[in-house]
Every structure is written in C-alpha cells, then in structure tokens.
Amino acid sequence: MKGKFITLEGPDGSGKSTIIKLIGDYMKEKGIDFIVTREPGGTKIGEKIRSIILDNENISMGPETEALLYAAARSQHVHEKIIPALNEGKVVFSDRFILSSLAYQGVGRQLGIERVKSINDFGLRGIYPDLILFFHIDPELTLQRKTLKMGGDRLEQEGNEFHKRVYDGYMELIKMYPENVKIIDATKSIDEVLNQSIEEIEKLLTI
C-alpha cells in the first residue's frame, strides 16, 4: 500500500472537524494528493448507518447494536474508500476511526475494549493508521461547551458520566496502544493546534 493513513481522534467538542478542513487547505497548497473523510460515514452506505446511529428517535438502541453499526460503517469505509485511496498512493485523513469505537463503545458504553476491538478487527482487513492525532482537551471544558450548545445528536445528548468515561477510555487506550499516537494540545488557539498537527504530518510524510 503506497499511501498513508492519518486519523484524528478526541472527545466531542475537541475541534477536530475545524482542523481537518485547515489541514486539507495545507495539503492542497503543498500539491499532495489526499482525501478527507469521516466516521461514522464516509460512504453512501456509511452515511445511512450514521443517520440511524445518531437519530435522537432511536433511544431504544442497545449498546451492542450501536457497536456493530459503527463497525459495519467502518468496514464499508475501509473496503470502498480507504483501501482504494491508499492503493492509489493518496494520503487519507479520517475524522475518527477505530479508537473512537474502543473509547465510546468499549469504555463509554462499558462493552469492554477487547470485545469491541474483536468485532472491528473482522472488518478492518488489517488496516491501522500510520498516525493518530489525538486532540487532548479536559472533559470539563468540552462539557461546558456542550451545555452551552442546544440540541445535539443522540451521542452528544449522553450525560456527563458517559463523556467522562469516554475521556478516561481514550487515556487508557493511549497507554495500551501508544504506537503512532501523537497528542495535540487542543486547548490552544486554532493556529497553534493546526501547527502542531502539521508538524506531525510533515514528520510522517517527510515533507
């Protein structure tokens, strides 16, 4: 596989989505062939699964069903978009990937990291990110931002305890799987967060 696979991870409200757009602008400027994608979603099938998962009407969804749906969307993403792009030598940026399921479903929903990992491994075809940018922000800060924001999807509506568990889950995962993870201080200004991210990307791509 000729391309490189870079994922952005972090709790809700850590600013990944803003930064991934700016990273895209930077890549364009540099003339590097890349794609930006996201999870859940990234493909037509995946976006349909995303709307089922995040729909506020689906309050009866069991945690195992939720985990399987995320894993199904991811498997389609790997099959239809990520592997073909990597084979074409592109740099693939994904807003969230496997670590999100391990933190949100494995720890947040208390299904267990290993169990969630095993259902995901089935659909991943051995694909693992070359670089994971972890956007670190204290959960107290994101929860404050969250309560200021009205509405939100089914996951965002979860209580503070859930989001604290997700944060703790990420911390545990970084210790368990430190390979390729770089911690970005997401409390800094957008410019600083972007610069930190680009520094890590440049190291990987040896620009």
Binding site for ligand TYD (CB under 6 A): 12, 17, 39-40, 70, 95-96, 100-101, 104-105, 153, 155-156
CB of 80 to ligand TYD, least distance (A): 16
Region of 42 (left: φ > 0; alpha: ψ -120 to 50; beta: rest) is left
CB closer to ligand TYD out of 34 and 104: 104
Please report, for residues 55, 67, 181, the alpha-carbon distance to residue 197 in angstroms, rounded to integers and kept in the order given: 32, 29, 12
For ligand TYD, the closer CB: 80 or 153: 153
> Cβ 31 to ligand TYD, closest distance in Å?
28
Whose CB is nearest to ligand TYD?
Answer: 104
Question: CB of residue 107 vs ligand TYD: minimum separation in angstroms?
Answer: 10
**CA–CA dist 91, 86 (Å, integer):** 7
Q: Are 186 and 136 in contact (CB under 8 A)?
A: yes
- When the beta carbons of 17 and 147 are compared against ligand TYD, the nearer one is 17
Q: Cβ closer to ligand TYD: 80 or 156?
A: 156
Least Cβ distance, residue 64 to ligand TYD (angstroms): 13
For the chain, the straight-line distance linking the first and the last C-alpha, in angstroms and rounded, comes to 19
Helix axes 63-77, 44-54, angle to 10 degrees: 160
